[in-house]
Amino acid sequence: MRIFGVILAGGAGRRMGGADKALLPLAGRPLVAHVIDRLEPQVEHLAISANGDPARLAFTGLPMLPDAVSQGPLSGVLAALDWAEGADAVVSVPVDTPFLPGDLVPQLWLAGGGGLAVAACGGRLQPVCALWPRALRGPLRAYIAGGGARVMGFCAGAGAVEAPFPGGDPDPFQNLNSPEDLAAAERTIRCAG
């Protein structure tokens, strides 16, 4: 089993005042660095899906994958599936989830038996935290070409299964969507340290 990973960093960051979330400081490091720390040990290769100037994330040393067609997170997933030559699957995570579980990848793989699996925690699906078999490249490309953009719309049609994760403090799938969320995450890290 060969699993690659992708950090989806293509959002506009509107609730963060248009800031590039990947570069927002958290505990003295860019937010993307925290997500890399969580995901990189769990995958064979890791890339970042982001549009715009790739130089801004060059410090990560990771491949940058621009969208062929900008259709939200699914475009980033498709770019990763195209990039992941030789992999069985790609695990996607958003750039604003610094507390991801250390067993995210194996639990997604086990839940789906290698098929499409979506993380669930506290009764909520986390559709961007998912394991995507490379065999879905064709169907995903067709879905996007037909104007499809809803992650759960595609997942439902592709027979995705839920991978349950326990909650915690902090929430392992907490998205940092606002300055208040970022400040709370800063306090969490400070208290844990």
pLDDT tens digits, one per residue of 96-108 = 999 999 999 999 9
Average pLDDT, the chain: 92
In 10 A of CB 113, how many CB atoms? 8
pLDDT tens digits, one per residue of 2-25 = 999 999 997 655 555 567 899 999
- Mean pLDDT computed over 101-130: 95
What is this structure's pTM? 0.94
pLDDT tens digits, one per residue of 126-169 = 999 999 999 999 999 999 999 999 999 999 999 999 999 998 88
Place of tokens 């890339």: 47
* pLDDT band at residue 189 using 50, 70 and 90 as cut-offs: confident
* pLDDT band at residue 191 using 50, 70 and 90 as cut-offs: confident
| Structure-block tokens of residue 79 | 């770019």
The string of DSSP codes covering 74-113 is HHHHHHHHHH-TT-SEEEEEETT-TT--TTHHHHHHHHHT
Tell me the angle at which helices 104-112 and 31-39 cross, rounded to the nearest 10 degrees: 50
* pLDDT band at residue 93 using 50, 70 and 90 as cut-offs: very high
Q: Which of 90, 88, 86 is nearest to 8 (CA)?
A: 90
- Confidence check: pLDDT of 36 > 70: yes
DSSP reduced 3-state for 173: coil
* Percentage with pLDDT > 70 across the chain: 95
CA distances from 42 to 5, 61, 78, 175 (A): 8, 17, 20, 20
- Check if the beta carbon of residue 98 is closer than 8 Å to that of residue 88: no
In 10 A of CB 123, how many CB atoms? 7
- Confidence check: pLDDT of 113 > 80: yes
* pLDDT band at residue 90 using 50, 70 and 90 as cut-offs: very high
Q: What is the CA radius of gyration of the chain?
A: 16
Delineate the domains of the chain, giving CATH numbers in brackets.
3-192 (3.90.550.10)
Is residue 154 within a helix (H) or strand (E), and if so which, with residue range? helix 151-157
**Range of weakest confidence among 17-31, 38-52, 109-123, 128-142:** 17-31
Q: What is the pLDDT of residue 31?
A: 96
Q: What is the pLDDT of residue 167?
A: 85
More confident residue, 132 or 72: 132
